[in-house]
Amino acid sequence: MFDITPIPAFADNYIWLLKSSDSPEVAMVDPGDAMPVLDYLQREHLSLGAILITHHHHDHTGGINRLKNAFPNARVYGPAHESIPEITDPLAEGAEVKLPWQSGSLKVFDVPGHTAGHIAYAGDNLLFCGDTLFAGGCGRVFDGTMEQMATSLQRIAQLPGETLLYCAHEYTQDNLGFAHWVEPENQALQERQNATQTLRNQGTPTVPSLLSLELETNPFLRTQIPTVVAAAEKWAKTPLNNHAAVFTALRTWKDRDYD
């Protein structure tokens, strides 16, 4: 459906560029900084037709105004339930984004938790998930709730295993370090840590990641696995009887003792 390219921004953000092979018009996902986008578009002789926003945090929205000044006809798609003044096309659960120069469309999922109105964009075995799910981890809970985040992650976990997850940050090494605290005997996790170290030594992004790999190694998607439950209960010093309770313990543990 799309050719997708990461544009690095700040210390560890990725702005995702969506392009089709036969058009110079492109879309950008979560451009927190305009300059790397403008530099790339100029270098590659491309035009910006659309901006897709997942949530209101400045490192995802800070480049919108400057990009709109350069490309005033670009549409700005984003969450209907968050205050982002530049949005021209507010979106919520079930909406579809059809970009005129692209084949296919992107479906909108409500995935609150990191923020109260966070959305994700799903296509043909791909998901632009912003800061809801990271490679090896998940986002902090800010103005959403732990219960919302747990539900959103479980929803993502039900997608096909071959889904490619395009998150917005290069946090994988750090996230896998915490995952190792939770499951030190997880062989798939150990292999992933080694592979991730190799990629980062080469300066290669570790994302997108496969959902099937996340289901084997990401504790926040493994809240029903006995070893993960046991680790969360040990830290919380209390029985945990459902996904949301296990998730809340894991997220609080990482916030307090690891990050």
State yes or no: is 114 an active-site residue: yes
- Distance in angstroms (rounded) separating the CA atoms of residues 127 and 15: 14
Active site residue 243: no
Q: Tell me if residue 58 is catalytic.
A: no
Residue 180 a catalytic site member? no
Contact predicate 6/30, CB 8 Å: no
Task: Please give the backbone phi and psi of residue 96, each rounded to the nearest 5 degrees, phi first.
Answer: -125, 140
The residue annotated as part of the active site, out of 57, 110, 118, 180, is 57
59 is catalytic: yes
From 56, 114, 118, 180, active-site residue:
114
56, 60, 118, 180: which one is catalytic?
60
Q: Which of 207, 203, 177 is nearest to 190 (CA)?
A: 177
Residue partners of 197: CB distance under 8 A and separation at least 6:
173
Q: Name residues whose C-beta falls within 8 Å of residue 248's C-beta, 6 or more positions apart in sequence.
A: 146, 147, 150
Q: Which of 59, 110, 118, 180 is catalytic?
A: 59
33, 55, 56, 180: the active-site residue: 55
Q: What is the CA radius of gyration of the chain?
A: 18
Q: Which residues are catalytic?
A: 55, 57, 59-60, 114, 131, 169
